[in-house]
Chains A and B, each alone.
Chain A
Amino acid sequence: NAGVMQNPRHLVRRRGQEARLRCSPMKGHSHVYWYRQLPEEGLKFMVYLQKENIIDESGMPKERFSAEFPKEGPSILRIQQVVRGDSAAYFCASSPGTGGQPYEQYFGPGTRLTVT
Chain B
Amino acid sequence: GENVEQHPSTLSVQEGDSAVIKCTYSDSASNYFPWYKQELGKRPQLIIDIRSNVGEKKDQRIAVTLNKTAKHFSLHITETQPEDSAVYFCAAVSSGSARQLTFGSGTQLTVLP
A/B interface sample: 23 pairs, CB < 8 A:
A31-B99, A33-B100, A33-B101, A35-B101, A41-B105, A42-B103, A42-B106, A43-B44, A43-B101, A43-B103, A45-B102, A48-B98, A48-B99, A56-B98, A59-B100, A91-B43, A93-B101, A103-B34, A103-B99, A105-B46, A107-B43, A107-B45, A107-B46
The 8 Å CB contact of B34, one of A33, A48, A55, A105, is A105
> A43 to chain B: which residues have CB within 8 Å?
44, 89, 101, 103
> B103 to chain A: which residues have CB within 8 Å?
42-44
How long is the Cα–Cα vector from A50 to B34 in the complex, in angstroms?
21
> A48 to chain B: which residues have CB within 8 Å?
98-100
B93 close to A (CB within 8 Å): yes
A25 close to B (CB within 8 Å): no
Q: Could you tell me how many residues of chain B have their Cβ less than 8 Å away from some Cβ of chain A?
A: 21
- The residue in chain B whose Cβ has the minimal distance to the Cβ of A44 is B103
How long is the Cα–Cα vector from A45 to B103 in the complex, in angstroms?
9
Chain A binding surface, main DSSP class: strand
The 8 Å CB contact of A103, one of B32, B102, B106, is B32
List 14 extra interface pairs beyond A48-B100, A110-B43, CB under 8 A.
A41-B106, A42-B106, A43-B44, A43-B89, A45-B100, A45-B102, A103-B34, A104-B34, A104-B46, A104-B49, A105-B101, A106-B46, A107-B36, A107-B46
